[in-house]
Amino acid sequence: MEDEVLNPTAWGEGMLEVGEPGAGDTLATDFDDMGIILDDSIGVAADDGTPLELRSWGNVLRDYQGTEKTFTITGTLIGIPASAMRKFWGIDTTSTPGTTWVKSTVTNKKYSFRMGTPKVVGSDRLLVPVGRMSLGLAYAQSNGWTAPFTIQMLVGATGYIYGFDTVPTPTEETPEG
């Protein structure tokens, strides 16, 4: 049997979706649109784990193993729905009619994340069962107001860090897991 080849890129608008993790830190079953991922803004950093060394007399290395890597995703969102902003920013829309005030940019909640091109059936999606996200604010003349984001992947009770699936056809039930 031939190994499955993952193709996490596809033509189309990349989207970030967020949802409440299920029981035991399983992947969310309902996701909300967080906006479009700005082209060429995604980065994934892998921080090597702590090295564990077993040394004998004379500082002779007898055994070595590293702890699990930690993964961080960074990127920039455009076209962020107001409902998405409320998840990550403390928002006040009642003080001044027609004005949205941001009171806080910190949240302690954990979320599930799904990234991919939902309009491209069969394209790969990255699944993060549980993680934390921070959402910032930036401006560029070419893009207007944007929101840089950072997702810290966590190992939840399921033991999974991340996974991949494919965008289903509109008639298929979305596989979650």
Domain coordinates of the chain in residue numbers? 15-49+66-163
Q: What is the pLDDT of residue 52?
A: 84
Give every residue of the chain whose pLDDT is below 50, as ranges.
1, 5-8, 177
Give per-residue pLDDT as tens, 73-122.
999 998 888 777 788 888 888 888 888 888 888 788 999 999 998 888 88
Tell me what pLDDT residue 172 has.
Answer: 53
Q: Which of 76, 77, 100 is nearest to 90 (CA)?
A: 100
pLDDT at 75: 93
Helix (H/G/I), strand (E/B), else coil: 24: helix
The predicted structure's pLDDT at residue 74: 94
Helices in 20-171 by DSSP H: which ranges?
82-88
pLDDT of 86 reads: 80
Question: What is the structure's pLDDT at 73?
Answer: 94
pLDDT of residue 142: 84
Would you state the structure tokens that stand for residue 86, as one six-digit string? 């409320």
Cβ neighbours, 10 Å, residue 77: 21
Q: At 54, phi and psi to the nearest 5?
A: -110, 115
Residue 52, SS3 per DSSP: strand
- What is the pLDDT, as a whole number, of residue 64? 85
Q: Would you state the structure tokens that stand for residue 134, as one six-digit string? A: 């921070």
